[in-house]
Chain A
Amino acid sequence: MAEMEVKSGGGHKKGPGVKKGKKLSTRVDLTPMVDLGFLLITFFIFTTTLAEPTSMNLAMPKDTKDPNQENKVKESGSLTLMLGKGNVIYYYYGNDPTKMQTTGYKDVRKLIIDKKKNTPAEDLFIIIKPDKDATYKNAVDVLDEMTINDIGRYAMVDPTPDEYKLIQQTEQAGGVK
């Protein structure tokens, strides 16, 4: 059993020549072993449950060549987010890319919330256009913003050549590498 050897007093009480053959206890203190056991248990519990990855659903529309089947987006309700190089977002309202403005991933949420507030729910449409230099993380981050802000209608498409040119010009002017 878990017991400790306690020495009683100092050694000076013993008389000269008195020798006592002391039997050593065979009992081992198991407390540290129990501690270790539970530590390992906690470790295994935490690592096994946390390692399970989560997943986010993504549904893409079917490509259609027929213009009649394409979704019509109201100009007043649309917000286009173009994801550029170096974690920069270029955005514009309606369908005039030349009025493009710049923002970052931290501020884009406010932008989306403001747009959502000022637009009737059935008109709101967000178009996400990741360009060639955007990373996968950028795309997932923006899709995540749609979930966070409860945006029901959004689409992910490639930027048009004009828009791409515009992004590149802005990037060159701003010296983004």
Chain B
Amino acid sequence: MARAKIKRGSTHVDMTAMCDVAFLLLSFFILTGQFKPSEAVEISPPNSVSNKHAPQKDAFTVSIDKDSRVFLGLTDDIKGDIWDELVKEKNLKVTAQDKQDFLGTDFIGVPFSQLLQFIKIPADQKKNVKMPGIPVDSTNNELQAWIGAASTAGEGKKLNFLIKGDNNAKYPVFGSVIDAFKKNDIFKYNLITNAEDAPPGTALYEENLKAQHKDD
């Protein structure tokens, strides 16, 4: 009797299907991932043990760079309202085009006197403009007017006031920013930081451990 021939299976696997899956996932992640919003200046925030995520909606972000200049960033969902409110409060003469220009501006770092001029600069050139920052001195605190306009415009909504400071920003500027908020009766803000683990052996560390055990 002839012996049955055992066919050796090939060890090669068809990679086509796996390749398809890999690239499908890849395109999914690229498309859903949010791009980092363009920033006025590079700011490296300090670390903190806080692990709450910074709110991304209705955000009014005050940035302080390492030279202690103050910038303002608004999310698109509140930008239009704030502009209308500001125009009303400051009695500015503006056109519809100005509003469009403002909506296309990601960050503001100039005093009111230069604002209309600044928003007219095409978006791709704004980065190259050297901005003096928004004045926050006690004599001329324009940030206060911005916050005022924002809190009037954002009535009914919960605005998130974020402060994003650079490691090397000087404290007095931070103090003036807080003062500007205080004058508008706003006492709660979020400081944007990088996450860091609680150091072992401290009260917070023990608390986190307990919370973890509870979950288990």
A residues adjacent to B (C-beta < 8 A): 1-3, 29-31, 33-34, 37-38, 40-41, 44-45, 47-48, 51-63, 83, 109, 113, 130-141, 143-144, 147-150, 158
Contact = CB atoms under 8 A, between A and B. Distances in A.
A44 B26 contact: yes
Contacts of B192: 53-55
B122 interface: no
Contacts, number: 171
A53 B193 contact: yes
B203 A137 contact: no
Contacts of A62: 182, 185, 187
Interface residues of B, number: 64
Contact of B175 (A31, A48, A51, A158): A158
B169 to A, nearest CB: 4
B171 A58 contact: no
A139 B48 contact: no
Nearest to A44: B29
- CB-based closest 6 A-B pairs: A37-B22, A30-B15, A56-B50, A55-B190, A150-B203, A48-B33
B13 interface: yes
Majority secondary structure of chain B interface residues (helix, strand, loop or mixed): mixed
Given A33-B19, A54-B51, A58-B189, A137 B46 contact: yes
Majority secondary structure of chain A interface residues (helix, strand, loop or mixed): mixed
B99 interface: no
A55 B19 contact: no
Interface stretch (B52-60, B82-90, B100-108): B52-60
B195 A54 contact: yes
A48 B34 contact: yes
Given A136-B165, A136-B170, A144-B48, A55 B55 contact: yes
Interface in B143-195: 162-175, 178, 181-182, 185, 187-195
